Structure 1
Amino acid sequence: MRIGELSRATGTSTRSLRYYEDQGLLSSDRRSNGYREYGEEAVRQVTFIQDLYRAGLPSQIIRDILPCTAPTPPEGECTQLLARVRQVRDELARQEQQIAQRREMLDRYLTGAATPAGIGGQRHCST
């Protein structure tokens, strides 16, 4: 299928598909007229790539993950990769915890239960 067809099938812009190729995440064959030609597995692969991006993984890790999804993944590399993915997940969990703490402090401030550090007295703003 051509790039426009893959774009429609996956809901991904042609610009993103070209970027995926530039990053080594997706490959195509070139026709004699220069058009890109993708195999049927490209739909599944693009969907998977998009899922990994939404999960917060950078291109470098996604590029490393893709061989591990093959029917016969390379030995050893995938184990190390899983450790890297766990690190990304753990960092996201840490960031979520920080955000939750900040949101809680803002909620306490907005309800009058707390004032920002270093500011004494009553709130002078009306809500």
Structure 2
Amino acid sequence: MKIGTLSARTGVPARMLRYYEDQGLLAPQRSGNGYRAFAEDDVDRVTMVRDLIRSGLPTRLIRIVLEMENPVASGWTERCTRDFAEVLAGELEALDARIACLTRSRDTVRDYLSHTEHAALLSGSAGR
């Protein structure tokens, strides 16, 4: 299938699909005229890549996940190497640090607004 079809089926823009290819996350065949030719399996692969990116995993780690034998199959984590587990643990620490930083920033902004005449605006963001 062509890139436009893959884009329509996955909801991932063609530009992003080209980025995935540049990052080594997709490897489409090339037809005689140079057009990318994606396989049916690429629909699931793109969906997985998109979901991993949304979860905050960088493409350099996604590439490693995809290189594991059949990562979509249940139990793929059983083949996780110690080295990769250490990389993931480091990524988890970095995510926790970013979350802590964002939490402090949010609390600072909330505290500032609570001391202004516009404190009532906070009621709309209390659950966020």
| Pair in the same fold by TM > 0.5 | yes
Counterpart of 2:82 in structure 1 is: 79
Q: Post-superposition shift, 1:100?
A: 1.6
Bigger drift between 77-86 and 51-60 goes to 77-86
- Structure 1 or 2, whichever has the larger Rg, is 1
Which 4+ stretches in 1 moved above 4 angstroms?
Answer: none
Matched, 1:89 2:92: yes
Distance 1:76 1:48 in 2: 18
Amino acid at match of 1:79: R
1:3 touches 1:38 (CA, 8 Å); kept in 2?
yes
Question: Size of the alignment, in residue pairs?
Answer: 114
Counterpart of 2:109 in structure 1 is: 106
Q: 1:56 and 1:69, CA in 2 relative to 1: closer, same or farther beyond 3 A?
A: farther
Q: 1:8 and 1:110, CA in 2 relative to 1: closer, same or farther beyond 3 A?
A: same
Give identity over the alignment, percent.
37
Distance 2:38 2:81 in 1: 26
Q: Post-superposition shift, 1:56?
A: 2.0
Q: Post-superposition shift, 1:44?
A: 0.7
Distance 1:63 1:45 in 2: 11
Matching of residues 1-127 of structure 1 within 5 Å: 1-68=1-68, 70=70, 78-112=81-115, 126-127=117-118
1:65 touches 1:78 (CA, 8 Å); kept in 2?
no
Q: Post-superposition shift, 1:30?
A: 1.1
Point out where structure 2 has 5 or more consecutive residues left out of the alignment.
Answer: 119-128
Q: Post-superposition shift, 1:37?
A: 1.0
SS at 2:90 equivalent: helix
Distance 2:25 2:15 in 1: 14
Point out where structure 1 has 5 or more consecutive residues left out of the alignment.
Answer: 113-124
What TM-score do the two structures reach when normalised by structure 1? 0.75
1:28 touches 1:39 (CA, 8 Å); kept in 2?
yes
What TM-score do the two structures reach when normalised by structure 2? 0.74
Amino acid at match of 2:27: S
